[in-house]
């Protein structure tokens, strides 16, 4: 692996600005990377944040911002680089998804919706990439010791929506507990490197022991039993 372009910067030697919500910025970053290295071998789509809260508490602008960043930005960066990959008859796109693309928590309609979208987009694009020798990879981290639970968590709430407030408190408490036991960011870095260099057609990679356990439980329990366990965790009455 020689040249890597991420949604935020190019690693090893060269750094450039890339705003996934700005088409000019996307194309300038790609052109700068190609100019610097001669080619780009791997695209890492990592830009994203989590919008949580009752759906009723979000404005349309907030809804659009979540999907512009986590989904539309990913699509636009991938689309802009795919002609270069086609020309070179290769290339790898690595999309950072999440266990949030495999399961949901209360008040996560926007964030989980965006990550479920990343899963579907990535799987569908894998067929396109294969037509010219490219590969698609999805990384599914669990709780990672980053700023996701801090500056990257956009919590919207309206206390006048009294029916939701008890559950809002439980969500914040659960998220805090999850990230107190988070895996170091190096775990994700190692999995990204593996995905970029293992020379396989493998599509999905988990990152973190919690991610492996949760995804295995979802597969083994099935939807109804798994959702029942989530409800128990949040003290939601079972009907």
Q: Which residues are catalytic?
A: 97, 111, 115
Contact status, residue 141 vs residue 95, Cβ threshold 8 Å: no
Contacts of 123 (CB under 8 A, 6+ apart): 136, 138, 203
Contact status, residue 133 vs residue 90, Cβ threshold 8 Å: yes
For 120-123, which contacts have Cβ atoms below 8 Å and span 24 or more sequence positions?
A: 121/71, 121/74, 121/75, 121/95, 122/93, 122/95, 122/97, 122/203, 123/203
Round to whole Å and give the CA distance between 210 and 43.
26
**In the chain, how many H helices and how many E strands?**
7, 7
Contact status, residue 137 vs residue 188, Cβ threshold 8 Å: no
Round to whole Å and give the CA distance between 211 and 15.
31
């Amino acid at each position: 692996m020689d040249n890597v372009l991420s949604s935020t910067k190019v690693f090893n030697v060269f750094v450039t600005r890339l705003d996934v919500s700005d088409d000019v910025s996307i194309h300038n970053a790609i052109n700068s990377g190609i100019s610097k290295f001669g080619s780009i071998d791997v695209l890492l789509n990592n830009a994203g944040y989590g919008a949580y809260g009752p759906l009723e508490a979000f404005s349309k602008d907030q809804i659009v911002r979540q999907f512009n960043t986590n989904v539309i930005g990913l699509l636009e960066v991938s689309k802009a680089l795919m002609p270069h990959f086609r020309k070179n008859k290769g290339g790898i796109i690595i999309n950072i998804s999440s266990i949030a693309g495999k399961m949901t928590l209360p008040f996560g309609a926007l964030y989980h919706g965006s990550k479920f979208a990343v899963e579907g987009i990535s799987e569908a694009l894998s067929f396109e990439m294969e037509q010219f020798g490219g590969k698609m990879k999805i990384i599914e981290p669990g709780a990672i010791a980053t700023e996701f639970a801090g500056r990257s968590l956009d919590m919207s709430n309206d206390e006048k929506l009294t029916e939701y407030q008890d559950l809002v408190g439980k969500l914040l408490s659960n998220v805090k507990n999850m990230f107190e036991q988070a895996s170091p960011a190096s775990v994700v870095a190692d999995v990204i490197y593996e995905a970029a260099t293992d020379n396989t057609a493998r599509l999905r990679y988990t990152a973190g022991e919690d991610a492996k356990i949760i995804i295995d439980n979802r597969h083994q329990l099935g939807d109804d039993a798994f959702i029942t366990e989530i409800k128990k965790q949040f003290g939601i009455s079972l009907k």
